[in-house]
A and B are shown apart, each in its own frame.
Chain A
Amino acid sequence: MLNAKPTWKSTLKTLLYLAPLLLITAVFTIWPLLNAFLMSVYTKYNYFTDHVGAIGWNNFAYLWHDPLFHLACRNTLLLALVATPLTVALSLLIAYGLNRIHHLARFFRTIYFLPFVTSTIAVGLVWNWIFRLDGGLLNRILGWFGYSAIDWLNDPHYALAALMVVCVWQGLGFNILLFLASLNHIDQRYTAAARLDGANAWQRFTNVTWPLLLPMTILIIVNTALTNFKVFDQVYALFHGSAGPGNADLTLLYYLYQKFYVENQYAVAAASGVIFFLLIGGVTLLTYGYFRHRRRQMGGRL
């Protein structure tokens, strides 16, 4: 019975335990996964009868020529490129601070984590009210300092910045916790030794703490970038179900939603989903690859 090799009988018995998971996963993950790729090459498709008229690359050609899709790609990349470093840097700063102080660290940690448990839609509506032209909190504060009010949500120049603020605000909590976990695991003796050697606080951070944090930082960068690539709820709530002034906040997922749910162009939406998948897969691999390369360059220091 114990430590035995698997037999057909034990396999059959185990299947009873695995059956619920396998059934749901097969129907709602594996089958749609295959379908998502197949659908992207269907060109004449009736989804209700499941009849495929023809297959080809037309959907991808459509995306290639669609200025809205270009805009969605541009916005998503811009959002990820600005919001990701900002989120990571700020969460590292706060985590480092939490690691330095003794009093109230737990209290602060609880506060910083609150946005993580908060409904994006609900708080997105609050942000909509904060960014409002007349009576919004932000413009009231700007008014104090004598600045004129800015129409954050209706001015295409500011709409993406507003979205970035919301993404950074919501992304901090989880990252702070991850950085804290990593910081707590750094042996105090390393920094103490550096101090004895005469290193100041900044030198101790750049030469001791930062290299030790690097593996966690890579994980956090990839994680945050992926989150920022998948932004949808924030846009929907911030602009009450639109993609902002002149599609200024049209993200890739919002494009997919619009093509799929609003315009009923299922195959085009599926093709944009495939591009989205390749893009985030590519970004993940590139980030890991780059840092692995850097690590090898740094050689013995890590």
Chain B
Amino acid sequence: MNRHPWLTLFWGLVLTIGAVLTLMPFVWMILTSLQPAATTLSIPTSWFPRSLNWVNYLNIWRAAPFAQYCLNSLLVTLTTTLGQLLTSILAAFALTHLRFYGRRLLFGLLLILMLIPGELLIIPNFITLAQLHWINTYAALIVPWLASVLMVITLHQAFLSQPKTLYYAARLDGASDWQYLWHILVPTNWPVITAVTLLQVIGSWNAFMWPLIVTNDDARRTLPVGLMAFTTEQGTNYPLLMAATVCVIFPLILLYLALQKYLVSNILSSHSKG
């Protein structure tokens, strides 16, 4: 197919402008984070830092219980993601491979629950946790999120496309359901599992409203909530604040860059019927 050179130039221009605008906040964040933060106004006037002030990146660890926020975020992200993987893999396997009464009923219920906005559940869940005396505990940050209907549905689709003959062959060879699940089904569906894991890590790491509501001191705050607390305490010390936002944003960007092929191919394949 012959393409018009002007058309290629036009699209190249459109895409470049879009990419510059997309990257603009990231660039501005990094540039500001390297500005000196010593002035009283703390609003840098120059565009580029005259020298690279890496000291902001050291100071954020002193200015706020930043290490504690990081630790909390890591702990909450890891446990919720692993917990969700476990509950979802078990449930998706049961729904696709095991025989039981009420399978269609349960699947229908899950499909309905997937449409419920989680924000509707925040108040009653908060009350449940208050009655359990769980407010400001790790349990409050983790336990309500140990099940994800969306993850069950995604894994259900993947497990369903696995040829059943493989399952029957394994069973005839004497493998139990449990062995088949962990030795064959999970390893062969590794790309999907990586993708849902990454999506969940992104969701947990960036979650804000729930941690904001159920935590009330630095010992339990996660990074996004801690970042807001940091903002109120530090006022408008932008260089320091931007150094902190870099530390919140970049771990996920690196993870995404490393694993993006799984994520992208999962999104592309799960929506290609659309």
Cβ < 8 Å to B, chain A residues 110-162: 110-123, 125-127, 129-130, 132, 134-135, 137, 140
A125 with B113: CB separation less than 8 A? no
Known interface pairs A10-B99, A15-B100. Does A177 touch B25 (Cβ–Cβ under 8 Å)? no
Given the complex of chains A and B, what is the CA–CA distance between A175 and B84 in angstroms? Answer: 26
Per-residue contact bits, chain B 93-114, to A (CB 8 Å; 1 contact, 0 not): 1100011111100100000010
Answer whether A97 and B121 are a contact pair too, CB < 8 Å, given A11-B100, A120-B206, A125-B231: no
Check: B76 CB closer than 8 A to any chain A CB. Answer: no
Q: Beyond A5-B99, A48-B130, A111-B23, is A236–B208 a contact (Cβ under 8 Å)?
A: yes
The segment from A23-31, A72-80, A291-299 that touches chain B is A23-31
Interface string of A33-69 (1 = CB under 8 A from B): 1011001000000011010000000000000000000
A118–B99 Cα distance when bound, in Å, is 41
Q: Establish whether residues B22 and A25, one from each chain, have CB atoms under 8 Å apart when the complex forms.
A: no
Chain B binding surface SS class: helix
Specify the chain A residue showing the minimal Cβ separation from B18. Answer: A94
Chain B contacts of A261 at CB under 8 A? Answer: 212-213
Contacts of A226 in B (CB 8 A): 117
**B8 in contact (CB, < 8 A):** yes
A32:B119 contact, CB within 8 angstroms: no
B187 within 8 A of A: no
Interface check B91, CB cutoff 8 A: yes
Q: A290 on the interface (CB 8 Å rule)?
A: no
Interface contact B117-A6, CB-CB below 8 Å: no
How big is the A interface, by class?
Answer: 35 or more
Whether A236 contacts B228 by the Cβ 8 Å rule is: yes
Residues of A with C-beta under 8 A to B44: 135
Residues facing B in A87-108 (CB within 8 A) are 90, 93-94, 97-98, 100-101, 104, 108
Most chain A beta carbons < 10 A, residue from B24, B103, B120, B225: B120
Complex interface: chain A residues within 8 A of B50 (CB):
none
**Which of A2, A15, A110, A273 has a CB less than 8 Å from the CB of B120?**
A273
In chain B, what residue has the closest Cβ to A166? Answer: B25
Any chain A CB within 8 A of the CB of B49? no
Q: Are B86 and A25 in contact (CB under 8 A)?
A: no
Docked-complex contact A119 and B206, CB < 8 angstroms: yes
Task: State the CA gap A98–B14 with chains docked (Å).
Answer: 10
Please, which residues of chain B bring their CB within 8 A of the CB of A71?
none
Closest beta carbon of chain B to A234's beta carbon, Å: 10
Q: With a CB–CB cut-off of 8 A, which chain B residues contact A185? A: 272
* A301: interface (CB < 8 Å): no
- Shortest Cβ gap from A171 to chain B (Å): 12
Q: Is B68 an interface residue (CB 8 A)?
A: no
Distance (whole angstroms) from the CB of B97 to the closest CB of chain A: 9
A101-B11 contact given A117-B252, A121-B224, CB 8 Å threshold: yes
Q: CB-CB < 8 A to B274: which residues of A?
A: 178, 181-182, 215-216, 219
B113 touches A29 (CB 8 A): yes
Q: Which residues of chain B (1-18) have a CB below 8 Å from chain A? A: 1, 3, 7-8, 11-12, 14-15, 18
**In whole angstroms, how far apart are the Cα atoms of A98 and B102 in the complex?**
46
- Whether a CB of chain A sits under 8 angstroms from the CB of B184 is no
With A216-B271, A240-B231 as contacts: A21 and B90 at CB distance below 8 Å: yes
Q: Tell me whether B94 and A14 are in contact (CB under 8 A).
A: yes
Residues of B within 8 A of A241 (CB): 228, 232
Interface string of A1-20 (1 = CB under 8 A from B): 11011111011011101101
B88: interface (CB < 8 Å): yes
- Chain A residues within 8 Å of B86, by CB: 20
Sorted from nearest, which 7 A-B pairs have the closest CB atoms?
A32-B124, A24-B147, A35-B124, A17-B94, A14-B100, A121-B224, A11-B100
- Residues of B in contact with A (beta carbons under 8 Å apart): 1, 3, 7-8, 11-12, 14-15, 18-19, 21-26, 28-29, 32, 43-45, 47, 86-88, 90-91, 93-94, 98-103, 106, 113, 116-117, 119-128, 130-131, 143-144, 146-147, 149, 152, 168, 171, 202, 205-206, 208-209, 212-213, 223-225, 227-228, 231-232, 238, 241-242, 245, 248-249, 252-253, 255-257, 260, 264, 267-269, 271-272, 274
Give 11 A-B contacts (CB < 8 Å), ordered by A residue. Answer: A24-B143, A28-B143, A50-B127, A113-B264, A119-B205, A125-B245, A129-B238, A140-B47, A178-B267, A181-B267, A233-B208
